[in-house]
Amino acid sequence: MKDVNAEFLPATFPRIAAAFFVLMLIGSLALVCVGGIALIGPMFTRGDMAAHAQGKIISIGPGMDFVLETTSGQRLDFQCRDQCRASLGHMQRHLHEHALTDVYYIRRPDKSMMALNVD
């Protein structure tokens, strides 16, 4: 009488190995695609001229204009107008929690800084 396990195991291992390698291939391709979008995406949404500042919001107002204090202690005044993608509630939460805030902005010809995205 033949051993059932002896016939079953050699046929199963290649299938499991193939399934594992297919999953690894799909996962690595997904990781490369997500990483590429993360690197290229901001260029499309903010443009090439956008700069980045990071710090804590120390005051808000009038309207949604705000002052950001960078980690080096520099205070930057930002105008948040029509093109600004930020919610006042989110900015107020960052103000009250002293949360680190990322601001993408463009410098206008009059040297003022217009925020494009506040997060």
Q: Provide the 10 A C-beta neighbour count for residue 85.
A: 13
**Residue 36: which pLDDT band, with cuts at 50, 70 and 90?**
confident
8-29: average pLDDT: 88
Q: Tell me if residue 29 falls in helix, strand or coil.
A: helix
> Is residue 4's pLDDT more than 80?
no
Q: Which residues pair with 70 in a beta bridge?
A: 55
Position 94 scores a pLDDT of 92
> Is residue 113's pLDDT more than 70?
yes
Each residue's pLDDT tens digit, 41-87: 666 665 667 888 999 999 998 888 999 999 899 999 999 877 777 78
